[in-house]
């Protein structure tokens, strides 16, 4: 019987601080790295497409709420926007900000990255239900077993009885059910 899952608030906080860090702290290295790549690629891609001003807590507060779930990286980009970009003259800003559709796309990418990280945070908060059991890791390292010629064989180590052996015609028939021993075509 599976054990009761426990909440892991430390992993959830780590997942907010840096996407994927919560899963890395629980020992899910591959999952953590994929999360890190996915969320950060989406967020940084949005900033590159839309410019630094696509993360703006003053003008686009609702969008920023979604973007802020990416963690401190969203606050850092907003700080750069508020301290440097917003204080430029209008002429200088024309060459540094994204206009119209690219800015909107960058804002959307950042918000989607934040919402994706929200799902990741909830998954990290749930604990480690997706941990691979040790025997699964051992089976992955072993070479594949030779397939048995018996129909209905049970896996090694199980007490399930062998159903029956294949007959010569069953072994020689293809997926269509036609017997190849008598010269049937596929």
Residue 156 lies in a domain: no
What the block records as the tokens of 24 is 């890395």
Q: Which residues contact 163 (CB under 8 A, 6 or more apart)?
A: 150, 151, 152, 153
Rounded to 5 degrees, φ, ψ at 82 are -70, -40
pLDDT(177) > 80: no
Tell me the pLDDT tens digit for each residue of 33-87.
999 999 999 999 999 999 898 999 999 999 999 999 999 999 999 999 999 988 8
Residue 125 lies in a domain: yes
Residue 25 lies in a domain: yes
Residue 31 lies in a domain: yes
Residue 146 lies in a domain: no
What the block records as the tokens of 134 is 């040790």
* In the chain, % of residues over pLDDT 70: 64
* In the chain, % of residues over pLDDT 90: 51
d(CA 54, CA 128): 35
Residue 30 lies in a domain: yes
d(CA 155, CA 135): 14
Range of the domain at 117: 9-130
Report how many domains make up the chain.
Answer: 1
Residue 169 lies in a domain: no
Residue 84 lies in a domain: yes
pTM of the model: 0.66
């Amino acid at each position: 019987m599976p054990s009761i899952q426990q909440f892991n608030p430390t992993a959830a906080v780590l997942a907010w601080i840096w996407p994927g860090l919560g899963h890395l702290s629980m020992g899910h290295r591959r999952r953590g790295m994929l999360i890190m790549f996915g969320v950060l690629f989406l967020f940084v891609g949005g900033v590159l497409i839309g410019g630094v001003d696509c993360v703006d807590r003053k003008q686009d507060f609702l969008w920023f709420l979604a973007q802020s779930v990416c963690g401190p990286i969203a606050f850092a980009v907003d700080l750069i926007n508020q301290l440097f970009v917003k204080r430029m003259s209008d002429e200088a800003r024309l060459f540094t900000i994204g206009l119209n559709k690219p800015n909107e796309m960058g804002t959307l990418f950042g918000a989607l990255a934040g919402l994706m990280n929200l799902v990741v945070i909830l998954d990290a908060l749930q604990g480690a239900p997706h941990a691979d059991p040790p025997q699964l890791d051992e089976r992955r390292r072993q070479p594949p077993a030779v397939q048995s010629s018996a129909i209905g064989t049970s896996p090694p180590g199980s007490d399930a009885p062998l159903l029956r052996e294949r007959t010569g015609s069953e072994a020689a028939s293809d997926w269509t059910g036609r017997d190849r021993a008598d010269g049937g075509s596929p």
